[in-house]
């Protein structure tokens, strides 16, 4: 059975058996980027209220897979439910069954631009901590995460790759800042070989780790821990390597899966030899949560603060006028489409006339003296 058919089978088995424990809601949405309408799936745990800024994890599918399969296969949902962060599963491009991420392959689409647009759009619609945006993915999605670390490191705090790698041509083009990196990889991966693939210019995993630990000023020696072999029938064992900087932070981390295939450890269902001794998603989050973007980048990005302003928007849905009631003076109120485009600026900061807007869902961005508040509303014309 090929990987595509296996993933399709996994998708239907999980849906039918309800194997994934989750309490939140998945929203299917899209934005316009590079002239294309790009789809994504956003998982929002029930613990998200919008009152406190939360992290965002980007989780990208592999080549021939798709966003819905990656959401189920990677299964960050129980972790997000507990830790209160949003998970977005963006959709690559290409014909169904041949979808991919353009990680510097040339031509279009520009997936770095799309992912940046997606981050910006989600920041408008949700209360996201701009210093806690992370990227990870499976296979081609892991490769794309390395590409984002190089080209979009002003937005991404840290990255993780499962069964992905870098291309040899990238090794001398790393960014001008520390980027924490986690790589999870099986030694028996025949799709993205652990030892690299000269034909496809794929770098060996040891080469990738060495390059990043040098770049991140980590010690050449590592803390080595054998992962407890809790599942003796999965056909694989795992070893964890942590490479520490002089400040005591492990900026490079690696899970080496002995005899592991091109698979996601701890996945709901094994596709090939899958290490079940640890959960990759839980360990990726454990790695991510240590790092904030402003530890490494001096920009205008500041630590997000909880929203304290008591704010009411009514009616919602509305056909002609929406009213705003706030405990603090409103300095500005701007309306954005879901793809992040400014569609209206209001000088009347208590009342907004929306009757000329097309029907749809919008984001109202309200600025007070001390904070910003984003609220979605629905424009609906009643006949």
Sign, CA torsion 186/179/115/377 = positive
At residue 135, the pLDDT reads 98
Neighbour-count burial for 354-373, b at 16+ CB within 10 Å, e otherwise? beebeeeebbbbbebeeebb
Q: Which of 242, 204, 202 is nearest to 223 (CA)?
A: 242
pLDDT of residue 213: 97
Domains of the chain: 3-295 (3.40.50.1820), 311-379 (2.60.40.3080)
Tokens of 202: 């794929």
pLDDT of the chain, 383 residues: tens digit per residue? 345 545 555 554 444 444 455 679 999 999 999 999 999 999 999 999 999 999 999 999 999 999 999 999 999 999 999 999 999 999 999 999 999 999 999 889 999 999 999 999 999 899 999 999 999 999 999 999 999 999 999 999 999 999 999 999 999 999 999 999 999 999 999 999 999 998 889 999 999 999 999 999 999 999 999 999 999 999 999 999 999 998 899 999 999 999 999 999 999 999 999 999 999 999 999 999 999 999 998 654 433 333 344 567 777 777 778 877 776 777 778 888 866 778 888 765 678 888 888 887 778 887 776 666 777 777 776 44
pTM above 0.85, yes or no: no
Nearest 5°: CA angle at 307, between 301 and 312?
130
Please give the pLDDT value at position 21. 56
The pLDDT assigned to 378 comes to 75
CA distances (Å), origin 220, targets 160, 194, 213? 20, 20, 7
CA–CA distance, 335 with 168 (Å, rounded to integer) = 45
Compute the distance between CA of residue 147 and CA of residue 297 in angstroms, rounded to an integer: 18
Residue found by looking up tokens 């309200």 in the block: 366
| DSSP strands (E only) in 95-189 | 128-138, 158-162, 181-186
H or E, element range at 123:
helix 111-125
Residue 319 DSSP SS3 = coil
């Amino acid at each position: 059975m090929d990987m595509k058919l296996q993933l399709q089978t996994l998708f239907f088995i999980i849906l039918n058996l309800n194997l994934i424990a989750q309490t939140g809601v998945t929203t299917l949405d899209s934005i316009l980027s590079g002239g294309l309408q790009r789809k994504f799936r956003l998982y929002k745990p029930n613990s998200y209220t919008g009152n406190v800024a939360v992290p965002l994890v980007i989780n990208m599918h592999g080549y021939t897979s798709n966003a819905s399969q990656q959401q189920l296969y990677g299964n960050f949902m129980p972790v997000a439910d507990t830790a209160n962060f949003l998970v977005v599963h963006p959709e690559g491009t290409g014909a169904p069954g041949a979808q991919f991420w353009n990680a510097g392959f040339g031509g279009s689409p520009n997936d770095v631009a799309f992912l940046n647009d997606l981050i910006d759009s989600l920041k408008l619609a949700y209360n996201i901590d701009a210093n806690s945006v992370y990227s990870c993915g499976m296979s081609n999605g892991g490769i794309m995460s390395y590409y984002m670390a190089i080209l979009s490191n002003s937005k991404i705090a840290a990255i993780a790759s499962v069964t992905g790698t870098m291309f040899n041509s990238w090794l001398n083009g790393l960014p001008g800042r520390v980027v924490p990196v986690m790589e999870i990889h099986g030694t028996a991966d025949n799709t993205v070989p652990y030892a690299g693939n000269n034909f496809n210019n794929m770098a060996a995993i040891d080469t990738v780790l060495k390059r990043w630990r040098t770049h991140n000023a980590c010690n050449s020696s590592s803390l080595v821990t054998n992962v407890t072999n809790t599942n003796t029938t999965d056909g694989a064992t795992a070893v964890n390597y942590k490479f520490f900087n002089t400040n005591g932070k492990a900026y490079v981390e690696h899970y080496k899966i002995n005899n592991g295939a091109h698979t996601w450890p701890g996945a709901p269902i094994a596709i090939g030899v899958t290490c079940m001794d640890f959960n990759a998603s839980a360990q990726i989050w454990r790695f991510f949560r240590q790092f904030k973007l402003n530890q490494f980048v001096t920009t205008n990005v500041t630590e997000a603060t909880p929203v304290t302003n008591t704010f009411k928007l009514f009616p919602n849905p509305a056909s002609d006028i929406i009213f705003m009631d706030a405990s603090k003076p409103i300095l500005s109120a701007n309306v954005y489409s879901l793809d992040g485009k400014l569609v209206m600026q209001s000088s009347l900061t208590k009342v907004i006339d929306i009757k000329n807007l097309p029907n749809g869902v919008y984001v109202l961005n309200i600025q007070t003296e001390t904070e910003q508040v984003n609220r979605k509303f629905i424009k609906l014309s009643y006949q």
